[in-house]
Amino acid sequence: MTPKPKDKPAGKPEQLKVYLFSNGNSAVFGDNDEQVAEFQTSWLLLFVQHLVNQGVNPLDVTYHMPDGRKASLFEIEDGYNWSIE
């Protein structure tokens, strides 16, 4: 379960459109179809963070992209990154 936000931050768009791409990335658009870069993040890394929050080592997981390719996760200084094989 994901908790609901308490209040909408000031200055944020009223309505967002989120696109999730098969390469693991996302695009977010707000009012007037303007891109909202600060909300764009890799959905794969969001799931990696979810695994970490659940106590799972994300390096012990295999990642399969929607198009059948595999993604490789690796550690970086401040967390994780990934590439498609």
Residue 28, domain extent: 17-84
pLDDT value, residue 73: 97
Per-residue pLDDT for the chain (85 aa), expressed as one digit of tens each? 667 766 666 666 678 999 999 999 999 999 888 999 998 999 999 999 999 999 999 999 999 999 999 999 999 999 999 999 8
pLDDT value, residue 14: 75
**What is the radius of gyration, based on Cα positions, of the chain?**
15
Any domain includes 2: no
Determine contact, residues 61/73, Cβ cutoff 8 Å. Answer: yes
Any domain includes 34: yes
Any domain includes 61: yes
Residues 19 and 17: their CA atoms lie apart, in Å, by 7
Element (H, E) at 26: strand 26-29
Any domain includes 6: no
pLDDT value, residue 9: 64
- Residue with the two structure tokens 């600060």: 38
Q: How many distinct structural domains can be found in the chain? A: 1
pLDDT value, residue 29: 95
| One-letter amino acid of 16 | L
